[in-house]
Amino acid sequence: MDQFFSLFAMAIPIVAIVGGMSVAIVRIITQARIEELARRERIAAIERGVDPSKLPPLPATAQENYPQSYLHGNGRLRRAHGLLIGGLVTLAAGIGLAVLVAGVEPDKNEWTVGLIPILVGAALLVCSRILWPPKAGGGSGTAG
Question: What is the model's pLDDT at position 47?
Answer: 92
Please report the sign of the dihedral spanned by the C-alpha atoms of residue 91, residue 93, residue 94, residue 100: positive
User: Does 83 or 71 have the greater pLDDT score?
Assistant: 83
Question: What is the model's pLDDT at position 26?
Answer: 93
Q: Which amino acid is at 30?
A: T
Among 39-43, 56-60, 104-108, 133-137, which stretch is predicted with the lowest mean pLDDT? 133-137
Measured distance CA(32)–CA(58) in Å, rounded: 12
Q: Of 144, 89, 97, 98, nearest to 122 (Cα)?
A: 89
Q: Which amino acid is at 33?
A: R
Question: Which residues, in sequence order, are CB contacts of 108 under 8 Å at separation 6+?
Answer: none
> What share of the chain in percent tops pLDDT 70?
78
The string of pLDDT tens digits covering residues 45-65 is 889 998 888 888 877 665 555
Looking at residue 61, what DSSP letter applies? P
Question: What is the model's pLDDT at position 100?
Answer: 82
The string of pLDDT tens digits covering residues 10-53 is 777 888 888 889 988 998 899 889 889 988 988 998 899 988 88
Measured distance CA(16)–CA(14) in Å, rounded: 5
